[in-house]
Amino acid sequence: MLNAIEPALEIALTDCRRIGQIAIQKLDDGVLALSHRDDETRNDLKLFHSPEDAIEIAKFDDTGNYRPLKTAPNLRRGWRLELATLDELRRALDYFYPGRLAVFAAWKSGRLRTTPLRDTLDRQSGMYRVAAKISDEQIDCVVGDFCRSDGGCLRTILWKRDKQGTVASTKLPPEKFDPAFDQVRAPTRSRSTIPATAIPLLCQEACNLLVAECRKVVKGE
């Protein structure tokens, strides 16, 4: 898979300089500089040089709270990460957004498989088995709230609610399911005015945190 990720990333970077809340600049000396999108024009950022620094940068938000969902739109600001090679860039982005580059590479090559939410819930065991009892109406609300780009998650949803192809939630806009749409700008811009300039964070299957939210609803917590 590593052999497929770097070529896909290199090609994507010819047209895109964004992934999630991260902006990527290629400097004159070939250095790849990463920062929060909202910090691109700042010159007072704390400087880092190792891909592993991304682990700590991504761990907490601006208020010091732990970020259990790395694709949530709460990446902290105030940093700049300068890297020397494409391999270092790949590693850093994997720390910022675990697994998303592999999913992107599989999607670009037409090999990505998605799993309906009902299938994900049906295979749960132990304390999460009860999540499969969630109703369609409850799913509509839970997914619509938990997965929304504005305050929820920046991934583009590719999975369906069930094997019949039902949309994940009718409470989410069509753009939430469009890989060409920049989810970071979703709250303020319409699809017709946003160019495809961001590498999408694709969601091929409901995450464990969403499964936990489904369980909470069923249990009435």
- Which among 51, 84, 108 is the end of a domain? 108
Q: Are residues 8 and 60 in the same domain?
A: yes
**Token pair of 215, please?**
């369980």
Q: Are residues 78 and 130 in the same domain?
A: no
At 172, is the pLDDT very low, low, confident or very high (cuts 50, 70, 90)? very high
Tens digit of each residue's pLDDT (9 = 90 or more) over 86-104: 999 999 999 999 999 999 9
Q: Are residues 31 and 63 in the same domain?
A: yes
Comparing CA positions, the residue from 116, 140, 84, 109 lying closest to residue 206 is 116
At 199, is the pLDDT very low, low, confident or very high (cuts 50, 70, 90)? very high
Q: Are residues 144 and 81 in the same domain?
A: no
> How does DSSP classify residue 146?
H
Q: What is the mean pLDDT of the chain?
A: 91
Distance CA 5, CA 130 (A): 37
Which 3 state secondary structure label does DSSP give 26? strand
Tens digit of each residue's pLDDT (9 = 90 or more) over 118-145: 999 999 999 999 999 999 999 999 999 9
Domain hosting residue 157, numbered range: 117-219
pLDDT given at position 8: 77
Distance of CA 130 to the CA centre of its chain: 27
* pTM as predicted: 0.90
Q: Are residues 142 and 159 in the same domain?
A: yes
Contact 121, 132 (CB under 8 A): yes
- Residue 3, CA distances (Å) to 17, 55, 94 in order: 21, 23, 15
Number of Cβ within a 10 Å radius of residue 215: 20
